[in-house]
Chains A and B, each alone.
Chain A
Amino acid sequence: MGDGTQVRGYNFAYLDEGTKRSIRRIILKAIAIPGYQVPFGSREMPLPYGWGTGGIQVTASILGPDDVLKVIDQGADDTTNAVSIRRFFSRTANISTTERTTEATIIQTRHRVPETPLHEDQILVYQVPIPEPLRWLEPRETETRKMHALEEYGVMHVKLYEDIAHYGHIATAYNYPALVNRRHVMATSPIPKFDNPKIDRIPALQIFGAGREKRIYAIPPYTEVKSLDFEDHPFSIETWDQCCAMCGDTESYLDEVITDDEGTRMFVCSDTDHCRRRRDDGHAGPGEPGEDAPGDDNGGAGKGLPG
C-alpha cells in the first residue's frame, strides 16, 4: 500500500468500476486471441493522447491495492512522463510504486522492455501510439481488419523488401513487425527491434493499449512472437562497439548522451534500473569521456563511435 494519501472524489485508480470491468473483458478477449487488436471504448483521461492514455487505462483496469507499479519511459524511471504517470496512480489508487524491475507486479512502459528478465507474476503494459502494422500501406480500417482476418500479410514483407532494396539491409529499427502465435501480425510499437527477442515466449503477460486508436491487444505468457524477415536477410538486433560508460555492460541497449556543448558523447544503458543494479553489484564502466576510467569489469571498453 502507499502512503494513505489517495485523493478524494475519485474511484480507486481513477476509472469507475464499470469502465474497468468492461476494459478487463476486452483484455480477456485480447489474451484469448493473441496479437488481435480488440476495439474498446477508450475514455477521456486527464492527460493528452500520446502521453500514454491507452496504457494508463489498461493499468487502471488491472491494478489492485496490493500491486507494486513501475513506470518507464525510454527505459528510464525518472523522465517526466514516467514520473507523472507513477504519481497519478499513487495518488488515485494509493498503491506502492518502485523503480526496481524485480519488485514490480505491473510495469507500464513506453519504448522499452526491461533488461531484467520478467517472471510469471508480472504484467507488462505498453503505451502504443499506432497499433495497426498494416496502416503504412492501407489507410482504410475496414480493409486492414479484413487483411488480418484473412491473414493477408504479404505487404508486410513488401516493407522489409523496400528496406533491403534501398539500404542493403532491413533498416526498420523500432516497431519491428512480428507474427504472434503464428497467426496475427502485430505492431511492437514503439520498442526497438533489440527488444523483440525479449517479448518472445516470456513468462510475463504483455498487454498493449492504444488510447487514441481505441485498441487493446495482448501476448499471453510463453507465446511465440516471431520477427518477420527473409531467409537470406534474417532478423538481427542492434549491436554496439562499446559498453555502457557507467556500468560497463556490453549486453544492454545503449542510449547516446551528449554531455556538453562541444558535443562530447557517451553511451549509457537505456534501462536505468538495470544500470544502477549493476553498479550496486560493483560493475563499472569507462566513465564519461575525458574522465579517468574508474575501472572496467569486462576489460575492454569500446572506443568512441566512428564519425
Chain B
Amino acid sequence: MMDLGPPLLSVQGMTKFYGRLVGCRDVGFDLWPGEVLCVVGESGSGKTTLLNCLNGGLEPTSGSIKYETRHEGTVEITTLSEAKRRFLSRTDWGIVYQNPRDGLRMRVSAGANIGERLMAVGARHYGNIRSEAATWLRNIEIDEDRIDDPPSTFSGGMQQRLQIARNLVTKPRLVFMDEPTGGLDVSVQARLLDLLRGLVTELDIAAIIVTHDLAVARLLGHRLMVMQGGRVVESGLTDQVLDDPHHPHTQLLVSAILTP
C-alpha cells in the first residue's frame, strides 16, 4: 500500500457528554495534510459538538487528539497548555463560524479584520499589512474600496467571505468550518463554495467541514463522515458514501435529497 506519511490530525475515542446526554461518542479518524473531511448528519447528530471538541471550543469528556505541528512534532491537543493551544489556533488553525458575527470584529474595518492575525503573529509594517488585506479582498471578490468599511455594512455573503479571508491570511494548515453556507441564499452559497473550493486547493489546506447539506459535502469533501446520535455510522470516500451508501441512516439521508 502507498505511503501517506503521518496524518496531520489523529482523533481517537472522542467522547463528549453533556451531563447524561451524549454529545458525541467514540469518534475516531485521521486527517492528512490538504485533505477535506466533511461531517454530515441531522441536527442533534453531534457533528457540531465534535467540531468544537476538536477546535478547543469544548472540553471533551474523553478521547485523544494528536496534531502534527510544523516545528514541534506531534502534540496531544487535549493536554496541551492553553497558551500553546491558543497560539496554534491563531497561527496554524482557522475557525469559520456559521454566523459571521461570531468570527468577525463587527466594529473594526474589513482591512483590520483581515490584518489582525498578521499583527498577532508579529507583523508591524502598516503598509504591508494593508496591501496583504487588499490582496485578500480581491481573492474573496470584495471591492478593494471597501477595505475601511466595517463588516456591519456588508451583506451576509460578503461577511462570510471576509471571515474566511480573516482565517486564511496566515495560511493555516487546518481549518474548522461549521455550516459555512448556512443562512445564505442559494446563489450566494454557490459563489462561496466555489471560492472555498479554490482556496482550499490552492493553499493545500486541510479542512473539517460540518454541514447538513450533502451537495456541499460532495463539492468540497474528499472524505465524508455520517453521524447519527453522536456516533459515526458511516465514513469513506465522499462519492462512494453518497452513491453507494451502506448504513440505513446514510441511505435515508441520501434518498431524502430533492434533485431539481
Contacts and interface: CB of A to CB of B under 8 A. Distances in A.
Interface in A113-156: 137, 146, 149-150, 152, 154-155
Interface residues of B, number: 24
Given A162-B109, A230-B125, A154 B116 contact: yes
Interface stretch (B126-134, B153-161, B202-210, B239-247): B126-134
Interface string B89-100: 010000000000
B215 interface: no
Contacts of A161: 111-112, 115, 119, 126, 129-130
Contacts of B130: 161, 165
Contact of B124 (A149, A162, A230): A230
Nearest to B148: A165
B83 interface: yes
Nearest to B147: A165
A164 interface: yes
A150 B86 CA distance: 9
B237 interface: no
A231 B125 contact: yes
B190 interface: no
B86 A155 contact: no
Interface in A222-242: 229-233
The residue among B105, B112, B115, B125 with the most chain A CB atoms within 10 A of its own CB is B112
B191 interface: no
Main secondary structure of the interface of A (DSSP, over half): helix
Nearest to A151: B83
Contacts of A162: 108-109, 112
A277 interface: no
A158 B127 contact: no
Contacts of A232: 125-127
Contacts of A231: 124-126
Contacts of B117: 154
Interface in A143-196: 146, 149-150, 152, 154-155, 157-158, 161-162, 164-166
Interface residues of A, number: 19
Contacts of B129: 161
Nearest to A231: B125
Contacts of A150: 82-83, 86-87
Contact of B111 (A137, A146, A165, A229): A165
B121 interface: yes
Contacts of B58: none
Nearest to A228: B124
A230 B123 CA distance: 9
Nearest to A137: B105
Given A137-B105, A161-B111, A230 B116 contact: no
Contacts of B124: 157, 229-231
A155 B108 CA distance: 11
Contact of B108 (A154, A158, A230): A158
B120 interface: yes
Contacts of A164: 126
B115 A158 contact: yes
Interface of A: 137, 146, 149-150, 152, 154-155, 157-158, 161-162, 164-166, 229-233
Interface of B: 82-83, 86-87, 90, 105, 108-109, 111-112, 115-117, 119-121, 124-127, 129-130, 147-148
20 contacts: A149-B83, A154-B90, A154-B116, A154-B119, A157-B119, A158-B105, A158-B108, A158-B112, A158-B119, A161-B129, A162-B112, A165-B112, A165-B147, A166-B109, A166-B148, A229-B124, A231-B124, A231-B125, A232-B126, A232-B127
Going nearest first, the 7 A-B pairs with the smallest beta carbon separation are: A154-B120, A157-B119, A230-B126, A154-B119, A231-B125, A150-B83, A158-B112
